[in-house]
Every structure is written in C-alpha cells, then in structure tokens.
Amino acid sequence: MKLCFATHNAHKLHEIAPLLPPVFELLNLEQIGCREELPETQDTIEGNSRQKAEFVWQHYRVNCFADDTGLEVAALHGEPGVRSARYAGPQRNGEENIDRLLHHLAGQTDRNARFKTVITLVLDGEVHSFEGIVEGNILEARRGGGGFGYDAVFLPDGYDRTFAEMDLAEKSLVSHRGKALEKMVGFFRAGFGPP
C-alpha cells in the first residue's frame, strides 16, 4: 500500500521508515510532486498535524499521514509547545531553539518536560488521529551528537542517556513519534487497512 509521509524533514523520514511494516510503500512529498511548504497555521499540535495531512489529501489525493511535535516544558507553562520548531524564530534553527530554551530555564529547579507527537492519517478521505507522549527532563547542557531538534537536552524518564545519545533503533522504541506511529500501525493491523 502506498502511503505518503507528509513532511520535508529528512530526519523524520529516516526515523519513521524502519518502523513501518514492509507492506507499506512509504512515499515522501517530492515523490508525489509536492514541493511547497505545507501549511502550519493552527495554534495546537493536533491542529497543525491535521492541517498538513488534509492539505496533501485535498491537493494530491494520496493516502497520507502527517505529524506535528512539540516540547512542552512545565516551568514555561507548556512552551515552546506548538512553536517548538520556530521557538527562536522563523529560520527553524535547532541550536538556536535549544539556546533559547536553556536561557529561559536558567535557575529553574523544575525541569520537567514532555515531548508530544500527534499523527494524523487521512485514508481514503477519512481522518484518524494518534498521539504519543514521552515524559522527561531538560538538562542544563547538551549531551550527545545524534538526533535533532531538542534531543540533546531531553532526558527521557527511566533512562540515563538523552535522545541524542541513543541510536535510532533505541530512540524509536522510546520516543513520542515512535509511540504515535505504533498506534497508527496497530490501527491498520486491527483491520482498517493492510495487515
């Protein structure tokens, strides 16, 4: 079954591709002829995820899924949240985003945070949603050279390594995106698509 992952983010594609069963032929946006930036104008993670998936379905008529992810920090009242990718500005610079986050958390003892991913699947025009959450803490300094986004400062609960210190296979088992994707695959296995 052909299924488009509605993202231009190569890191996300690399992370998700190994997690899908081989019955799926995963397509990227370029392969369906979509080269424009997908709209992300909603004020919630759920809203952005749905907006992107519905845009691809409406314009390209391809079964697809889109995700949106936010880092929600307790001491910052849920920031950066839906603005996580653009926290330091529209340039979407991961290092600058981390710098701004650490600046805002300077002196804070409460460093609890969570990553939240919402995947929206549009299958033959029907919309389905899947959520994944992982709890953790924000470190005071970066650790690890892998991952992307806030991975180098996010330490998931129950682990002694940041996402940036984990290899891709381990991160996928723990991560918010992996959990949301697992729910989507379970949906297909329950009889709503190919096994």
Single out the catalytic residue among 68, 99, 110, 124: 68
* Confidence band of 193 (pLDDT split at 50, 70, 90): low
β-partners of residue 155 are: 137
**Mean per-residue pLDDT, 39-51:** 96
Question: For residue range 101-127, what is the model confidence (pLDDT) as tens digits?
Answer: 999 999 999 999 999 999 999 999 999
73: Cβ contacts below 8 Å, ≥ 6 apart: 79, 80, 101, 105, 111, 112, 113, 138
Write down the domain spans for the chain. 2-192
Does 68 participate in catalysis according to the annotation? yes
Residue 148: other Cβ atoms inside 10 A: 15
* Confidence band of 192 (pLDDT split at 50, 70, 90): low
Q: What integer pLDDT is reported at residue 142 of this predicted model?
A: 97
Q: Give yes or no for a contact between 193 and 1, defined as CB atoms under 8 angstroms apart.
A: yes
Is 2-192 a CATH 3.40.190.10 domain? no
**Mean per-residue pLDDT, 10-26:** 83
* Confidence band of 133 (pLDDT split at 50, 70, 90): very high
Q: Show the tokens assigned to 21.
A: 């069963």
E strand map for the chain: 2-5, 25-27, 64-73, 80-81, 112-123, 126-138, 154-156
Question: For residue range 48-86, what is the model confidence (pLDDT) as tens digits?
Answer: 999 999 999 999 999 999 999 999 999 999 999 999 999
Percent of the chain with pLDDT over 90: 79
Instruction: Output phi, psi for 172, to 5 deg.
Output: -65, -30
**More confident call, 17 vs 29:** 29
Q: Show the tokens assigned to 53.
A: 């998936």
Q: Show the tokens assigned to 154.
A: 């996010």
